[in-house]
Chains A and B, each alone.
Chain A
Amino acid sequence: MALLVGALALGACGGPENEGVPSSPATQSGTMSDPHTMTGLTEAQSISDPTPLEGPITQQLPATVTDVEGQVVEVKRTERVLALDIYGTLSRTSISLGFGKNLVGRTVSSTENQLENLPVVTQNGHSLNVESILSLQPDLIIADRSIGPREAIDQLRSAGIAVVLVDSHRSLETNSELINQVAQAFGAPEAGEKLAERTEKEIDAALDQIEEWAPEKPLDGAFLYVRGTANVFFILGADEGAGALIGALGARDVATENGITSTTPANAESLVALNPEVIFVMSDGLNSAEGLDAILARPGISQTRAGANSRFVAIPDGMALSFGPQTGEALLSIARALYGVPGEE
């Protein structure tokens, strides 16, 4: 134990001094500290329910949709809809398109306030419970392959429900495409165009704002997936959208730069080699790991610059890698936590 404490002390005095480059002068937000010398845990504020598009929605039903896997699906009615994915993006997209009241069930990832009282149709984490879905008598299911099992989707299809599969990738680039796919499933492609445009505009505004906040020399960040008290943690790579997220925040993803593409069970020493100066984690993951102190006590974490300064940014789970119509809002919220910008309220 004494060794560990010694190590922490050593790490603490070795960390930040190489980073003495003063950042760009503080912006209009006033008393901003240098992001490179900030310490401690900051938490991103969770975002509110999405705002539906204004104006009447033109819906053309029945609609014939060719989904992302090439299946031709005929959507006749959209009175009772399920939008199911592991990220919660699809339910948020449905609400933004103005179909929030048509949703009749949800996954555990759909954390919107207005969906709170809807039945949850996943069990055991993220597997679909076919019978409970059928009992909701949905007309349309919008889902992707992030949720399964495969057989469940097949069974729902053979039960005569219109199942439209959409792309399961989440990133800045695929955002508009995904919104359009969802809108087409509702037979409302025009609403999709409008929402995609609104989303892109919000993202551009957010990126401009973030550019002002970000220091000239970008922060080195890494996204760790931590769950529970096991000695297992994963480095999230480019495939999970972690690289895109960190890049959009004006930081440098050290994992992507080192060629990590998929979720990698981290070797303790390799984390020291990556040496991020800020570590992103999901809020629930942080709680399940019994807090920041427990994570800092793990070999490999305290030796990094982020560990030495306890420089962590916690992101609410549903917001971290889901992108979708609220990407701009989410980016701003995370960037505020990252750069120590006071919130708007």
Chain B
Amino acid sequence: MRSSIIRRRVTTFTILGVALLAGVIVSSAMGQYPIALVDVIRGFFAHFGLTDPPKDPVVDSTLWSIRFPRIVLGLMVGAALGVAGGVMQAVFSNPLAEPGIIGVSSGASVGASLAMVFAPAALAGFGVPLAAFISGLAAALLVYFLARSGGRAEVLTLVLTGIAVTAVCGAITSMATYVAPTTARDQIVFWQMGSLNGATWTQVATVTVIATIGIVWAWSIAPGLDALALGENAAGHVGINVQVLRISAIVLAALLTSAAVAYAGVIAFVGLIVPHVMRLAIGPLNRYLIPAAMLGGALLITLADIAARNLIPFADLPIGIFTALVGGPTFFVLLRHKLRLGSSV
């Protein structure tokens, strides 16, 4: 029994690692500016002095200013969203908790859209992500206090609270869209659909710092979250301050979500699908689930982005469309399953 779960973990992490590497290579080789695989490889290693750079300087520039930052941003965003979903599900003791569903994403939209309308250039461009974080965190805390009874969040209460929070946040965002000048309106609309188009290294650096802090933090509280799964009392008995653990988990989930949405916009359902699939593969232990969700999220976004930027010539599709197309039905199946088992599960 024990050896079989270990084998499954090893297999899962190996598959994830290989698939992610393959995904990144495919993603590097594909794009609307045609670049031969040879030139991609040469362009990549040339920056470390290992090969000669590609003959055409535009190729090098396209790779390093457009394609690579976008891929790295996608990896970071996906990892952050996957981990955020995993942590939220643990702290709500509910596999349906997901930033997009319980209202954190729409909460983040409120701050981001208000900032885009009223202070687009505040804090040297960091105004929008910071506002997204603050309002996303507020929405997460609100849902946490409203949906929880007796230490757990029931499925129906959680989903319904999410609907209520999303409705109010949606109204505020619409209001911001309504008063916005045309320039900000485009920005809000596209932000809500999510896209990795136009990623720069500055954005990558910001997101990487926040996501790394969040992911390390999440991993460090994973044993606590595992104890929490046994119930609040049991967790208290093994010396865990349950309140502190819960609050810090919410804060870090909001931190990761807002890091992800700050530049890439709302990309829903990644935090739902990825941890769920990983749980099926390797079981519910958070200390393994969280790194698996990190890799899985990065993989899902990488694949979705290959579609988003290659499907239609010259156009860039919003990546949120693809994750929602997969995520919506997954959510539905999960919800049916949970409700059939009885809402107290």
Interface residues of A (CB under 8 A from B): 1, 3-4, 6-7, 10-11, 13-14, 124-125, 227-232, 235, 255, 258-260, 264-270, 272-275, 288, 290, 297-300, 302-303
Query: Which stretch from B96-104, B138-146, B190-198 is at the chain A interface?
Result: B190-198
Residues on B facing A (Cβ under 8 Å): 31-34, 56-58, 60-62, 64-67, 69-70, 116, 120-121, 178, 181-184, 186-187, 190-191, 195, 197-202, 263, 309, 313-316
CB within 8 A of A4: which of B121, B197, B200, B309? B200
Question: Which chain B residue has the least Cβ–Cβ distance from A288?
Answer: B183
Interface Cβ pair total, 8 Å cutoff: 123
Q: A4: nearest residue on chain B (CB-CB)?
A: B65
Instruction: Other than A228-B183, A299-B65, give 8 A-B pairs with Cβ distance below 8 A.
Output: A10-B60, A259-B313, A266-B315, A268-B70, A269-B32, A270-B32, A270-B314, A303-B58
Min Cβ gap A129→B in Å is 14
**A300 and B198 contacting across the interface, CB-CB below 8 Å:** yes
Asked if A266 contacts B187 (CB within 8 A), the reply is no
Query: Quick check: A227 and B315 within 8 Å, CB to CB?
Result: no
B186 x A267 contact (CB < 8 A):
no
8 pairs of A and B residues whose beta carbons are closest in the complex: A228-B183, A231-B198, A230-B187, A267-B316, A270-B32, A10-B57, A7-B61, A269-B33
- Say how far A153's CB is from chain B's closest CB, in angstroms: 21
Q: Is the pair A229, B120 in contact by a Cβ cutoff of 8 Å?
A: yes
Structural contact, B66 and A229, CB atoms closer than 8 A: no
Residue of A at shortest CB range from B182? A125
Is B186 a contact of A303 with CB atoms below 8 Å? Answer: no
Q: A272-B58, A303-B66 are in contact. Are A260 and B201 (CB under 8 A)?
A: no
Decide: B198 and A298 in contact? CB cutoff 8 A: yes
Residues of B within 8 A of A302 (CB): 61, 65
Contacting pair B32 A4 (CB below 8 A): no
Contacts of A258 in B (CB 8 A): 313-314
Contact A3 B64 (CB under 8 A): yes
A230 and B64 alpha carbons, distance in the complex (Å): 21
Question: Given the complex of chains A and B, what is the CA–CA distance between A6 and B121 in angstroms?
Answer: 26
Does A230 lie within 8 Å of B32, measured CB to CB? Answer: no
B-side contacts of A270, CB under 8 Å: 32-33, 313-316
Between-chain CB contacts (< 8 Å), 9 pairs: A4-B200, A7-B65, A11-B58, A14-B57, A230-B186, A265-B190, A269-B31, A273-B32, A298-B198
Report yes or no: B198 in contact with A264, Cβ–Cβ below 8 A: no
Taken together as a complex, chains A and B put the C-alpha atoms of A10 and B316 apart, in Å, by: 26
CB distance from A38 to the nearest CB of B (A): 20
Q: Are B187 and A269 in contact (CB under 8 A)?
A: no
Task: From A7, A267, A275, name the one whose CB has the most chain B CB atoms within 10 angstroms.
Answer: A267
- How far is the CB of A229 from the nearest CB of chain B, in Å? 6
- Chain A proximity of B184: nearest CB distance (Å): 6
Q: Which of A3, A228, A268, A290 has the most CB of B within 10 A?
A: A268
Residue among B191, B314, B316 having the largest count of chain A Cβ atoms under 10 Å: B314
The listed residue (A3, A227, A265) touching B65 by CB distance below 8 A is A3
**Residue on A with the closest CB to B315?**
A264
* Contact partners of A298 in chain B: CB under 8 A: 198
Asked if B65 contacts A269 (CB within 8 A), the reply is: no
Check B57 against A269 for contact (C-beta < 8 Å). Answer: no
Given the known inter-chain contacts A230-B191, A273-B32, A303-B66, please indicate yes or no for A1 contacting B183, CB distance below 8 A: no
Say whether, besides A3-B201, A231-B197, A268-B198, A11 and B57 are in contact (CB < 8 Å). yes
Are A300 and B184 in contact, CB atoms less than 8 angstroms apart?
no
Distance (whole angstroms) from the CB of A251 to the closest CB of chain B: 19
